[in-house]
Amino acid sequence: MRSILRTLDGGRLRDIALVSLAVGVVGLSYGATAVASGFPLWLPVLLSVLVLAASSEFMFIGIIVAGGSPIAAVLAGLAVNARHLPFGLALPDVLGQGWRRLLGTHLMNDETVVFAIAQEGRARQRAAYWACGVGILICWPLGALAGGLAGTVIDDTGVLGLDAMFPAVLLALVLPAFRDRDKRHAALVGAAIALATTPFLPAGLPVLLSLAGLAAGAVRREAHR
């Protein structure tokens, strides 16, 4: 932990802390929604520790509440988290080796990956990844527990606009990368694919298909060499 504090500047540590706290706020809504829907308190808390993926956990709860089977809910959550496969390929050296790689894989989510790739140098990438991962590992379960204990105080994420929090945070983090023309092109192609397929495909799949924008960016880069 001391090496992380020495590697990252105060501004970056502050950003990581704020994002982790934001995750905890969304965890309040998640825990309250799950308990208000009839689930026992231990379930959202256990999922928050073992799954550690907000979108998959919300989807799991939502599908079961809507009358779907647990198997369908698990498969949907796996489909959403399939985006972690290219994440892992992009950050193999950041995760470390042995038990560190195993733990690092568990901590992988949108926020940790975005913070890591936004840094210059392997040491700073690794420090940002682990600092954000540990922060979320602490704040997300605590938020779920507090929300579950609160019961129905927060039972609709849409009312408070919490569903828009993460897209806004992630956009702010990746905006500096858009100075590169190839990255802008890849992002625009990916966004177009996601928007075009969202009305027709289940949640999560449009995001996976949008990764084709990376291929478009690579083709453009090769064409301009």
16-61 confidence digits (pLDDT tens): 998 899 888 888 888 888 888 889 999 999 999 999 888 788 878 8
∠ Cα 37 40 43 (to 5°):
100
Query: For 153-195, what is each residue's pLDDT tens digit?
Result: 655 655 656 556 556 655 665 676 677 777 787 888 888 888 8
Same domain, 68 and 163: yes
Map residue 135 onto helix, strand or coil.
helix
Q: What is the per-residue pLDDT for 168?
A: 63
Spatial contact of 182 and 217, defined as CB atoms under 8 Å apart: yes
Spatial contact of 29 and 154, defined as CB atoms under 8 Å apart: yes
Map residue 90 onto helix, strand or coil.
helix
Same domain, 12 and 61: yes
Type of residue found at 189: V
| pTM, 2 dp | 0.69
- Of 25-34, 64-73, 95-104, 203-212, give the lowest mean pLDDT range: 203-212
Element (H, E) at 36: helix 10-36
Same domain, 212 and 160: no
Based on the structure, what is the number of domains in the chain?
2
Positive or negative: CA dihedral 45, 47, 48, 54:
negative
Same domain, 221 and 110: no
pLDDT cut 70: percent of the chain above it: 77
Q: What is the per-residue pLDDT for 153?
A: 62
Same domain, 187 and 170: no
Q: What's the mean pLDDT when you consider all of the chain? A: 78
Q: What is the per-residue pLDDT for 38?
A: 84
Where is pLDDT greater, at 115 or 180? 115
Spatial contact of 214 and 201, defined as CB atoms under 8 Å apart: no
**Owner of token pair 């192609």:** 189
Q: Which domain holds residue 22?
A: 2-175
- Region for 85 from its dihedrals, namely left if φ exceeds 0, alpha if ψ lies in -120 to 50, beta otherwise: alpha
Q: For residue 45, count other CB atoms closer than 10 A to its CB.
A: 22
Map residue 224 onto helix, strand or coil.
coil
- Of 45-54, 121-130, 136-145, 170-179, give the lowest mean pLDDT range: 170-179
Distance of CA 117 to the CA centre of its chain: 14
Query: Does residue 89 surpass a pLDDT of 90?
Result: no
Query: Does residue 137 surpass a pLDDT of 90?
Result: yes
Same domain, 157 and 186: no
Nearest to 41 by CA among 55, 30, 51: 30
Same domain, 165 and 186: no
Q: What is the per-residue pLDDT for 49?
A: 94
Query: Does residue 128 surpass a pLDDT of 80?
Result: yes
Same domain, 149 and 122: yes
Same domain, 53 and 32: yes
